Chain A
Amino acid sequence: MASGSDGLARRRTAVGELAIAVGVLVLAAVIYWQVQVMPVSPLYAKVGPTLVPSLAALAMTGLGLALLLSAVRGGWQSAEELEAVPDRLALGWVLAGLLINLLLIDVAGFTLASTLLFICVARGFGSRKIIRDASIGAAFALVAYFGFAKTLGINIGAGVVEHTIEGLLPLSRKS
């Protein structure tokens, strides 16, 4: 439907789509380069570990070129999507939450890092009730920690908060 000929508005090269197409071509090049440096025993010369990666690199080059062509012709996004302006502030809050979580989870433990993540994401989605979000986030993280993680037997990072509570509760000591 969006074949480029159906509107005058989209003849110009679409920058976003161009970047995506270049990314796909770069990935194809990386695959090709890795295939070249892969040492292969002559035993597997014909159907070895490089066969499928080579085919994948070839196919990806073709697809990348097709995307490139489409991007130069004005891109493939629908008019609706083109008009929508990404909410950078909301994205920023969510990304900040992820970054804080990444930096703190080893140092401060899961509960604290998750609570901060929770507050930031909620803020990104427009919530202004920090105290409510903080308490729900903390409760959620604790329930998740003791319920989900302990029953599934996966040990997620314990910090100060977790150790204190575990010390208070005799039931969780046996594990």
Chain B
Amino acid sequence: MDAVAGLMKGFAVALTPINLMWCLIGTTLGTAIGVLPGLGPALTIALLLPITFKVDPTAAFILFAGIYYGAMYGGSTTSILLNTPGESATIVTALEGNKMARKGRAGAALATAAIGSFVAGTIGTLGLAFLAPLVADMALQFGPADYFALMVLAFVTVAAVLGSSAVRGLTALLFGIWLGMIGVDLQTGQARFTFGVPELLDGINVIIVAVGLFAVGETLYVASRYSGGNDEVIPLKGSLWMTREEWSRSWKPWLRGTAFGFPIGAMPAGGAEIPTFLSYYTEKKLSKHPEEFGHGAIEGVAGPEAANNASAAGVLVPMLTLGLPTSATAAIMLSAFQSYGINPGPLLFQTQPELVWGLIASLFIGNVMLLVLNLPMIALWVKMLMIPAPLLYAGILVFATIGTYGITQSTTDLMLLYAVGGIGYLMRRYDFPTAPVIIGMILGPLAEQNLRQAMTISAGDWTVFFTRPLSATLLVLAAIAIVGPKAYDFWARTQLKPVPGGDA
């Protein structure tokens, strides 16, 4: 089906009153959790996963997508007014946005962030609508070996390239893969790593791991670092209407940010951080006012904000067409698909056109809702920033308990939740990234399945991964991604003798 016809059909689905309501709930909730420090979209969607037993898949995914987009908008508000990035992708926004707010230009910063997010989100969603069917068509020819190679590439980039250390990222990833293997092996019926505990035969629920890492672990970490004082919330000053000059300084960064964000997000590697940094440095280079950077340059808010929203749209391309999640949030959404018995992949556009196109159409609608929620109604969200930390984190832990205990009413699950929380605390303390755990846990079993299928087809011949051109290329890319940075470091160190003071 071509994109235009698909979108027409999608809007017919998304514009029904009930789906509009789900979209509104999702975007509102998403903005709220984006604004609140300590809560993120992955955690929220994990807590809401039980809803998949109650509502039809289209409604659930419209809700989840609203949360996903909404958190991006809300996160920028926190970065600008509190200087505590709500989401990792909004770190760069805090650099210039908070400085602008301190100079009494919070209104303009919030406006360029929200409008830039809208522009980028809309263009990114258009990109998704037109690119995804093409990728899906191409992916129809992928064999198990190609899928496996693709997943290896995603693993490597998510764990090794995006974080601060390849070793720690890969350790987190392998921990997740191991968690994903616990339970009965679906191909042979063999129980693995259950240690004789019958509760473990069904595997560990991803809700427990996500909530344990992102809610319990995070709360423990914040508590251990909490010195009693609240961060200062900068009062909302300055008109929300941007001046002519601010418009003219914003629109190009929006478009350039989108041009970074969408393609990078759409690659099997994913990640929202890299495009925001690229956008920031590009704007700094191109700006007519480079001296303002570091002191509140509007370009430094407009570009990165656009980049992170465009990449959010991009991440949905591999997620919907290949079943390949490249962020923790996308991984949890994939597990929601699995709970409906739907396998995202090239066939999704044929088997579930209403779901896919309804979801994409609702992203356009959600973007409009988010623009309204985040500009005229911004004062409401600023009030949420005033919630005292003791109440906020106490509430997060109570919700974490409901979300986990509610699934099975088993205290075993609660113990598991708190144990994962303890591991999450150690990971935060010792600088291990947590997102690869979730990605490994969801994607690991799929990678294993494809590996074993490929090996079965080839009758146990390992060369199958290197004789297929696509899988060979992807594996070489993965190897470069792991070895490349180290090799470059080594080369740079031996070739270019260190310049005194030149090495940062």
**B495 interfacial contact with A, CB 8 Å:** no
Query: Within the complex, which residue of B50, B53, B174, B393 is in contact with A125, where a contact is CB–CB below 8 Å?
Result: B393
CA distance A64 to B171 in the complex (A): 8
Minimum distance in angstroms from B345 CB to a CB of chain A = 21
Once the chains bind, are A125 and B390 in contact (CB under 8 Å)?
yes
Binds A, one of B69-77, B181-189, B372-380: B181-189
A113–B411 Cα gap in the complex (Å)? 13
Do A126 and B226 touch (CB < 8 A)? yes
> What residues of B have a CB within 8 angstroms of the CB of A136 in the complex?
391
Interface stretch (choices B88-96, B276-284, B452-460): B452-460
Residues A154 and B219 in contact, CB atoms below 8 Å apart: no
Interface residues on A, range: 35 or more
Assess whether B480 is interfacial by the CB under 8 Å rule: no
**Interface residue ranges, B against A (CB under 8 Å):** 48, 50-51, 53-54, 165, 167-168, 170-171, 174-175, 177-178, 181, 185, 187-188, 190, 192-193, 216, 219-220, 223-228, 388-391, 393-395, 397-399, 401-402, 405-407, 409, 411, 414-415, 418, 421, 426, 429-431, 444, 448, 451-452, 455-456, 460
Task: Check if B190 sits within 8 Å of A133, measured CB to CB.
Answer: no
A residues within 8 A CB of B171?
24, 60, 63-64, 67
B292 to chain A, nearest CB (A): 28
Residue of B nearest to A75 (CB): B430
Q: Please name the residue on chain B nearest to A95 by beta carbon.
A: B220
Return the contact of B401 from the options A94, A114, A133 (Cβ within 8 A).
A114
Given known contacts A41-B188, A94-B219, A144 and B402 CB-to-CB distance under 8 angstroms: yes
Can you spell out 23 A-B residue pairs with CB atoms less than 8 angstroms apart?
Answer: A20-B426, A52-B452, A53-B193, A56-B177, A60-B171, A60-B174, A63-B174, A78-B431, A86-B224, A87-B226, A90-B226, A102-B414, A117-B401, A118-B398, A121-B390, A124-B223, A125-B223, A125-B389, A136-B391, A137-B394, A144-B398, A152-B51, A153-B50
Contact of B167 among A56, A63, A133, A141 (CB under 8 A): A63
Q: Which of B228, B390, B426 contacts A122 (CB 8 A)?
A: B390
Chain A, residues 100-139, CB within 8 Å of chain B (1/0): the string is: 0110011000100110011101111111000001001100
Hey, what's the 0/1 contact readout for A4-16 against B, CB within 8 Å counting as 1?
0000000000001
Task: Find the A residue at minimum CB distance from B169.
Answer: A63
Q: Roughly how many angstroms separate A136 CA and B170 CA in the complex, as a whole number?
A: 42
The residue that B430 contacts in the complex, of A16, A106, A127, with Cβ under 8 A, is: A16
**A38 interface residue (CB < 8 Å to B):** yes
A87 touches B394 (CB 8 A): no
Given contacts A77-B430, A94-B220, A152-B406, contact A27 B178 (CB under 8 A): yes
Nearest chain B residue, comparing its CB with the CB of A128: B390
Partner of B224, one of A44, A78, A91: A91
A51-B455, A152-B51 are known contacts; what are 16 more A-B pairs with Cβ within 8 Å?
A51-B451, A60-B174, A77-B431, A81-B431, A86-B225, A98-B397, A118-B394, A118-B398, A124-B223, A125-B390, A127-B390, A133-B394, A137-B394, A149-B406, A152-B54, A156-B405
Chain B residues contacting A26 (CB-CB under 8 Å) are none
Known contacts A47-B455, A152-B406; is A38 also within 8 Å of B190 by CB?
yes
Q: Is the CB of B398 within 8 A of A137?
A: yes
Nearest CB to that of B227 among chain A residues? A87
Name the distance in Å between A140's Cβ and chain B's nearest Cβ.
Answer: 6
Closest partner residue, chain A, to B187 (CB atom): A49
Contact A144 B216 (CB under 8 A): no
Closest to B406 in A: A154
Complex Cα–Cα for A93 and B220 (A): 10
Q: Is A36 an interface residue (CB 8 A)?
A: no
A137 to B415 alpha-carbon distance, docked (Å) = 22
Does A161 lie at the interface of the complex (its beta carbon under 8 Å from any beta carbon of B)? no
Contact of B456 among A47, A118, A137 (CB under 8 A): A47
Given known A-B contacts A49-B188, A101-B414, A154-B407, A144 and B167 have beta carbons under 8 A apart: no
**For the complex, what is the distance from the CA of A47 to the CA of B451, rounded to whole Å?**
9
Contacts of A93 in B (CB 8 A): 223
User: Contacts of A52 on B, CB cut-off 8 Å?
Assistant: 177, 181, 444, 448, 451-452
Cβ 8 A contact of A48, one of B188, B401, B402: B188
Q: Which residue of A lies closest to B455 (CB)?
A: A47
| Cβ–Cβ contact A125 & B167, under 8 A | no
Q: Which residues of A contact B444 (CB under 8 A)?
A: 52
CB distance from A53 to the nearest CB of B (A): 6
Q: Does A66 contact B (CB under 8 A)?
A: yes
- A131–B394 Cα distance when bound, in Å, is 14
Complex interface: chain B residues within 8 A of A110 (CB)? 401-402, 405
Give B289 Cβ to nearest chain A Cβ, in Å.
30
Q: A52-B448, A77-B430, A78-B431 are in contact. Are A148 and B402 (CB under 8 A)?
A: yes
Q: Is the CB of B406 within 8 A of A155?
A: yes
The residues of B that contact A97 with a CB separation of less than 8 Å are: 397
| Contact B395–A140 (Cβ < 8 Å) | yes
Q: How far is the CA of A67 from the CA of B178 in the complex (A)?
A: 18
**A114/B398 in contact, CB under 8 A:** yes
Return chain A residues, CB-CB under 8 Å to B390.
121-127, 133
**Binary B-proximity of A135-174 (CB < 8 A = 1, otherwise 0):** 0110011001100110011111100000000000000000
Q: Residues of B contacting A87 with CB < 8 Å?
A: 223-227
Are A59 and B192 CB-contacts (below 8 A) given A90-B223, A114-B398, A157-B409? no
Within 8 Å CB of A76, what residues of B? Answer: 165, 168, 430-431
Contacts of A47 in B (CB 8 A): 451-452, 455-456, 460
Given contacts A56-B177, A63-B170, whether A49 and B395 have CB atoms under 8 Å apart is no
Q: Give the complex CA separation of A62 and B388 in angstroms.
A: 44
On chain A, the residues within 8 Å of B227 by CB distance are 87
Chain B proximity of A68: nearest CB distance (Å)? 11
Q: Give min CB distance, A108 to chain B, whole Å.
A: 13
Q: Are B405 and A105 in contact (CB under 8 A)?
A: yes
* List of 3 A-B pairs having minimum Cβ-Cβ separation, nearest first: A127-B390, A125-B390, A122-B390
